[in-house]
């Protein structure tokens, strides 16, 4: 039986969920406080890369982050703030910085995203309009040993259908594969299955598709209060008026935590700020490139190349710190054969939702019968949008969670 469903959040995750629900005949309204796709979905690298399924918490990262406390230009930076929420999050993050939890998370997220490319092809076949390229992803490192270690780390993904190369490329063979790279790059390899999109085209295409299917998209409608009636969510109070719905989905990225507080629910996340900018090089890269040592993503988008990176834990703060942009430049220039002299274009900062275990949070809000959440996708929001949206749509429509969602149940936080 069709029902009315309000999806709070107009990024890739919320829009993909709304699309699959509208496709099944539900009356869907997307409620976005600003503009469609204006959050973390806007200026990111646009990668569709299930191969990067490993969660952020990893062995050695906690110590690395502590060393970055006095270094705001570090790729991973925790701005000191002694708030109870941050202390609790940091403690649980630290506890997940071990091999066992990391590799468990890698497999669980890889399983969720194993149908990513098929779902993006189906979106295209269904008439959702967005820009997508199927050029693969090149991993590179300044040290050949670093590239070899990355290739070894990715070996478990073979069970999810990835055709991994047997060895890395070095020297002239690597630069023949990608002339964009400098002579200082020691090694790299290509995963041919990976893709990329212009993220703004994806969110716009999904929003248009929702409306073609009879759904509504409300921009500039901030949720200010939520009525609660026992175990059920009632009306949403928004700056655009009162909104009734049979079911509510919170999918507002880093803003999901304060939204959940309106229900008295706890969704433990921190905002992980990422930065990006664009340049117009004389020579375009042939495909997206992951600069392993710098932890920077390089993406060709039309006549420009977008550089995206850094992870700054500094709260709900959209301020653009020029020092963080300069850090990306400094880390990237070593990899690029001919860095252009013109000014950087389109500097941007966005907030990625980070759970303490680095895993998505997808499922029913504990204590509620008709409230759901989909957030915490960190750097994989665009990649996992269709797979997360399709799985959550099944839970909302049927009341039964598909098995692939069990590791991401919000109840795991107690």
Secondary structure in 3-state letters for the chain? CCCEEEEECCCHHHHHHHHHHHHCCCEEEEEECCCCCCCCCCCCCCEECHHHCCCCCCCCHHHHHHHHHHCCCCCEEECCCCCHHHHHHHHHHHHCCCHHHHHHHHHHHHHHHHHHHHHHHHHHHCCCCCCEECCCEEEEECCHHHHHHHHHHCHHHHHHCCCCCCCCEEHHHHHHHCCCECCCCCEEEEECCCEEECHHHHHHHHHHHHHHCCCEEEECCCEEEEEEECCEEEEEEECCEEECCCEEEECCHHHHHHHHHCCCCCCCCEEEEEEEEEECCCCCCCCCEEECCCCEEEEEECCEEEEEEEEEECCCCCCCCHHHHHHHHHHHHCCECCCCCCCCEEEEEEEEEECCCCCCEEEECCCCCCEEEEECCHHHHHHHHHHHHHHHHHHHHHCCCCHHHHHHCHHHHC
Query: Radius of gyration (Cα) for the chain, nearest Å?
Result: 21
Q: For 352-408, what is each residue's pLDDT tens digit?
A: 999 999 999 999 999 999 999 999 999 999 999 999 999 999 999 999 999 999 999
pLDDT score for 70: 58
Q: Which two tokens stand for residue 245?
A: 């719905």
Mean pLDDT of the chain: 93
Q: For 188-234, what is each residue's pLDDT tens digit?
A: 999 999 999 999 999 999 999 999 999 999 999 999 999 998 999 98
What domains does the chain contain, in order, with CATH numbers?
4-136+193-413 (3.50.50.60)
Q: For 243-254, what is each residue's pLDDT tens digit?
A: 999 999 999 999
Q: For residues 312-338, give the mean pLDDT.
A: 91
- Using the predicted structure, report yes or no on whether residue 65 has a pLDDT greater than 80: no
- Using the predicted structure, report yes or no on whether residue 271 has a pLDDT greater than 90: yes
pLDDT score for 412: 95
pLDDT score for 1: 44
Please check whether residue 241 is in contact with residue 51, taking contact to mean a CB–CB distance below 8 angstroms: no
Please check whether residue 353 is in contact with residue 359, taking contact to mean a CB–CB distance below 8 angstroms: no
Q: Express as a percent the part of the chain with pLDDT over 90.
A: 83
Q: For residues 256-281, give the mean pLDDT.
A: 94
pTM tops 0.85: yes
Q: Which residues make Cβ contacts (< 8 Å) with residue 105, sequence separation at least 6?
A: 53, 54, 55, 57, 96, 357, 358, 359, 407
Q: What are the CA-CA distances from residue 290 to residues 82, 134, 202, 234, 365 (Å)?
A: 33, 16, 21, 45, 35
pLDDT score for 311: 87
Indicate if the alpha-carbon torsion angle 128, 130, 134, 138 is positive or negative. Answer: negative
Please check whether residue 133 is in contact with residue 196, taking contact to mean a CB–CB distance below 8 angstroms: yes
Q: For 162-176, what is each residue's pLDDT tens digit?
A: 889 999 999 999 999
């Amino acid at each position: 039986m069709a029902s009315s469903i309000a999806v709070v959040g107009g990024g890739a995750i919320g829009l993909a969920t709304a699309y699959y629900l509208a496709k099944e005949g539900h009356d869907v309204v997307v409620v976005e406080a600003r503009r469609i796709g204006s959050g973390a979905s806007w200026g990111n690298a646009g990668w569709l890369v299930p191969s990067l399924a490993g969660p952020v918490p990893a062995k050695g990262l906690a110590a690395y982050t502590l060393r970055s406390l006095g270094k705001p230009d570090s790729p991973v930076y925790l701005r000191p703030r002694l708030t109870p929420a941050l202390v609790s999050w940091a403690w649980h993050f630290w506890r997940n910085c071990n091999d066992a939890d990391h590799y468990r998370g890698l497999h669980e997220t890889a399983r969720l995203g194993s149908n990513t490319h098929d779902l993006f092809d189906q979106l295209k076949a269904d008439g959702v309009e967005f820009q997508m390229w199927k050029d693969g992803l090149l991993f590179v490192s300044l040290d050949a040993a670093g590239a070899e270690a990355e290739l070894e780390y990715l070996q478990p993904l073979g069970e999810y259908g990835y055709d991994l190369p047997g060895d890395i490329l070095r020297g002239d063979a690597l630069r023949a594969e990608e002339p964009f790279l400098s002579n200082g790059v020691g090694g790299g390899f290509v995963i041919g299955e990976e893709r990329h999109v212009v993220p703004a085209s994806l969110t716009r295409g999904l929003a248009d598709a929702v409306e073609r299917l009879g759904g509504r998209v409300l921009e500039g409608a901030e949720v200010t209060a939520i009525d609660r009636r026992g175990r059920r969510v009632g009306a949403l109070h928004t700056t655009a008026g009162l909104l009734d719905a049979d079911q509510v989905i919170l999918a507002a990225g880093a803003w999901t935590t304060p939204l959940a507080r309106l229900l008295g629910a706890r969704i433990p996340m921190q905002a992980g700020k990422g930065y990006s900018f664009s340049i117009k090089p004389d020579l375009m890269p042939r495909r997206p490139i992951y600069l392993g040592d710098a932890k920077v993503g390089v993406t060709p988008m039309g006549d420009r190349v977008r550089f995206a990176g850094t992870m700054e834990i500094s709260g709900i703060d959209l301020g653009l710190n020029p020092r963080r942009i300069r850090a990306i430049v400094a880390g990237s220039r070593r990899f690029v054969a001919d860095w252009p002299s013109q000014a950087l274009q389109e500097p941007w900062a966005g907030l990625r939702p980070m759970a303490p275990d680095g895993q998505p949070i997808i499922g029913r809000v504990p204590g509620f019968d008709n409230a759901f959440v989909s957030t915490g996708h960190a750097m994989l929001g665009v990649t996992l949008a269709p797979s997360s949206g399709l799985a959550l749509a099944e839970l909302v429509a049927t009341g039964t969670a598909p098995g692939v969602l069990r590791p991401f149940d919000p109840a795991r936080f107690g």
